[in-house]
Amino acid sequence: MAETVSTENLVMEDIGVNTDGYVVETEELWRVYKMGSREVPALRGVNLHISAGRFVALKGRSGSGKTTLLNCIGGLDHPTSGVVRVFGRDLTELSERQLTQWRRKKVGFVFQSFGLLPTLSAYENVELMLRIAGVPGKERHDRTLYCLDLVGLSKWVHHRPYEMSGGQQQRVAIARALANNPSLILADEATGELDSVTAREILSLFRRIVDEEHVTLLMATHDPLVDEYVDQILQLRDGQIVQEQ
């Protein structure tokens, strides 16, 4: 009985099915912040198409709109106008509750400052995401260890963030982002606080994850190092894509 199927169920079932093969699409995407009587247009008509299984860099200087664009794609922010389609679904059609569910299941986030819970071990930081998602015990345990192994931290599972280097903490954050087996990872300046050797290690890890785990990864950055690792570079300037490579 098609008419009684809730949109919520549809959201979960049809994710990942996209006839034209794009994981992320935006059409004339605008995001205008209101600052009192002033309007700040952070995104000014962004059109982009990202294919499945690609590692894409979103480059541009500070203030060009990278974070705003990632937030609109990840459903953390609402566009002022235009369309954001992820896995073929227009995010503006979803309620807040649906958006939260969708995000939890389908998108992993990695931030510049790692964002780990300081009193929890690496294991607990990753496992918490699976607890929130309601994954049962044994599966949760296995998946946590799998993700920590994937990022090269098998020997560090019981360490807390303050006992780890910045690079190791970012690896925990990446394992956490992977925990729910997302199809899309959004990374905002994920190498911004790391030295160049460590940044390269993280970029190699991202490359490997895209190749082996069948995810699409969109990384906002102004780090020139990324060029060697990515499949595609989108250049953002003053809220518009000015160049695609």
Question: Residue 66 or 143: which CB sits closer to ligand ADP?
Answer: 66
Of 3-11, 47-55, 64-72, 120-128, the segment contacting ligand ADP by CB under 6 A is: 64-72
H or E, element range at 172? helix 166-178
Residue 57 is a binding residue for ligand ADP (CB under 6 A): no
Q: How many residues bind Mg ion (CB under 5 A)?
A: 2
Question: Residue 126 or 177: which CB sits closer to Mg ion?
Answer: 177
How far is Cα 109 from Cα 74, in angstroms, rounded to an integer?
A: 8
How far is Cα 179 from Cα 127, in angstroms, rounded to an integer?
A: 8
The residues in 41-100 that bind Mg ion, with binding defined as CB under 5 A, are 66-67
Q: What is the SS3 assignment for 211?
A: helix
Residue 46's binding partner, choosing from Mg ion, ligand ADP, none, with beta-carbon cut-off 5 to 8 A by kind?
Answer: none
CA torsion 69→234→28→240, rounded to 10°?
Answer: 80
The structure tokens 């950055």 sit at: 221
How far is Cα 54 from Cα 216, in angstroms, rounded to an integer?
A: 5
How far is Cα 223 from Cα 242, in angstroms, rounded to an integer?
A: 18
Question: Residue 11 or 230: which CB sits closer to ligand ADP?
Answer: 230
Residue 60's binding partner, choosing from Mg ion, ligand ADP, none, with beta-carbon cut-off 5 to 8 A by kind?
Answer: ligand ADP
Question: Residue 152 or 192: which CB sits closer to ligand ADP?
Answer: 192
Residue 79 is a binding residue for ligand ADP (CB under 6 A): no
Question: Residue 124 or 193: which CB sits closer to ligand ADP?
Answer: 193
User: Minimal distance in Å, beta carbon 241 to ligand ADP?
Assistant: 12
Residue 42 is a binding residue for ligand ADP (CB under 6 A): yes
CA torsion 188→194→197→200, rounded to 10°?
Answer: -10
Residue 159 structure tokens = 């360490």
CA distances from 52 to 135, 139, 224 (A): 26, 27, 23
Site of interaction with ligand ADP (CB under 6 A): 33, 35, 40, 42, 60, 62-68
Site of interaction with Mg ion (CB under 5 A): 66-67
